[in-house]
Structure 1
Amino acid sequence: MQGFQITIFTGEGRRHGHQTMGAWLLETVRQLGIRGATLSTGVEGIGRDGRLHSAHFFELADQPVTLTLVVTEAQWALLAQALTQAQADLFYVKVPAEFGVLGAPNPPA
C-alpha cells in the first residue's frame, strides 16, 4: 500500500483538555479507526521554540514525546482535519511510505 509515515512531536507536559497531549492523540487516532500508532518518549530534544527539552530525574514534564503512525491518504486527511479543528497546535513530519505485512499466515478458506 502507499501512504505516509507521520511523526507528531509534542511534550510530556502538554495537555489537551484533561488529558496529556500524547494520550489525547492516541485516543483521537483510535476513534478515527487508524491502527498501528506508537507513542514514544525521548531523552532530549530541541523544540520548535529552540529550547532544549529533556527528561530529568525530578522533572519529566519537559520530556519529548513523539507519535508515529503510517496512514493512507484518506486517513491522513481525516486526522489532519481532526487536529486542525481541535486547534491542537502540533508540529509534524509527513513522509511518503510504502507499507504492508510480510510473513503473515494465509487466512482460512
Structure 2
Amino acid sequence: REPKNWEFLIRLLVNPLANPKIIRWEDKEQATFRLVHPEVITQLWNARSTKPNVTYKNFARGLRYHYTTGALVSVSERQFVYGCGPKALEFLDKLGGNMAVL
C-alpha cells in the first residue's frame, strides 16, 4: 500500500536531509512538529503519490482527517504545526526515532 500522508511526514522528520530544512520538531517533549515549507512537502508528496496534483490545502485536509484515526493530534492556534498521536509515535518508534531517546 502507499504510505499515508502522516507516515510520509514522520519519515521526513527522521531524515536529516529534510529536518530541519523543510520540517522540524517544534517541541520534542510534546511530540509536535512544524511544516517549515509546506509547499515543498506537498511537491515531494506529489512526486511519490499516485495522485500527483494535490495542493497543500488538500494535503492538509488529509492530515486533519487523521486526527480521528489517532495518528495526529490538533495543535490549536498554531499554523502548520501538528502533534503526533499514538499511531505516529508507534510508527516513529519502529523507524528508530523513539521519542524517549530524542
Question: What's the TM-score once normalised by structure 2's chain length?
Answer: 0.30
Which one has the bigger helix percentage?
Answer: 2
Q: Which has the higher contact order (CA 8 A, sep 6+)?
A: 1
